[in-house]
Amino acid sequence: MDINVLVPIAQGTEEMEAITIIDMLRRAGVRVTVAGENEIITCSRGVKIIPDVLLDTIDTDLNFDAIILPGGAQGTDNLMKHSILGKMLEHQKSNGKMIAAVCAAPTVLSYFKIFDKGQKITSHPSVKDMLGKYTWINERVVIDGNIITSKGAGTAMEFVLSIIGKLCGDEIADHVAEGIVYR
């Protein structure tokens, strides 16, 4: 299995979501590249993460099987400042590849005009009003085509397991869930 995923993070990213995404994907055998806006990212609760690469150094034409955005209000605001991320997301969408976002991160997808009109999504309830152009659904995880969204830190494991299921198959998702005693 040769699956490559990009996880962009920025100052103020929600660490529980970022670590859950990175850890569980790696347990599934996925190659995860953590791209940060700085060499050390201080997350929303003070946890520090050292990214694999700097976000602004990534070739926008690289092909990833998925780009997954963790949330955090400040982190998502900071991700919106990186036009290179917008180009990567546009490339991802035009190639029919997966894009996923949790918590406040669907606002990044809205900002870069990644969602289609009427797209079915969810997010943290605090940013729901910022996503009024889309079909906001009050569910823990919403999958609409190649876009997966989720509500927040409390839904992070379910979110990542749905991503693993789509990328690697349900058998691997079940194996990861069993390994962490999720179910």
Confidence of residue 7 (pLDDT cuts 50, 70, 90): very high
Confidence of residue 183 (pLDDT cuts 50, 70, 90): confident
Residue 125 lies in a domain: yes
Q: Which residues pair with 100 in a beta bridge?
A: 68, 148
Residue 95 lies in a domain: yes
Whether residue 1 has pLDDT greater than 80 = no
Alpha carbon distance 113, 117 (integer Å): 9
Confidence of residue 25 (pLDDT cuts 50, 70, 90): very high
Domain that holds residue 143: 4-175
Residue 55 lies in a domain: yes
- Residue 62's pLDDT is 85
For 78-96, letters b (16+ CB in 10 Å) and e give bbbebeebbebbebbbeee
Which ranges constitute the DSSP H helices of 28-169? 73-79, 83-94, 106-111, 156-168
Which ranges constitute the DSSP H helices of the chain? 15-27, 73-79, 83-94, 106-111, 156-168, 170-179
Whether residue 181 has pLDDT greater than 80 = yes
- Residue 61's pLDDT is 81
- Residue 111's pLDDT is 97
Q: What is the mean pLDDT of the segment spanning 137-153?
A: 98
Average pLDDT, the chain: 97
Active site residue 103: yes
Residue 12, both tokens:
């103020």
Whole-angstrom CA distances from 30 to 58, 59, 122, 160 are 19, 20, 25, 12
The single residue of 103, 108, 141, 167 carrying the catalytic annotation is: 103
pLDDT tens-digit series, residues 48-79:
999 999 999 998 888 999 999 999 999 999 99
pLDDT tens-digit series, residues 78-127:
999 999 999 999 999 999 999 999 999 999 999 999 999 999 999 999 99
Q: Into how many domains does the chain fold? A: 1
The domain spanning residue 73 has which CATH number? 3.40.50.880
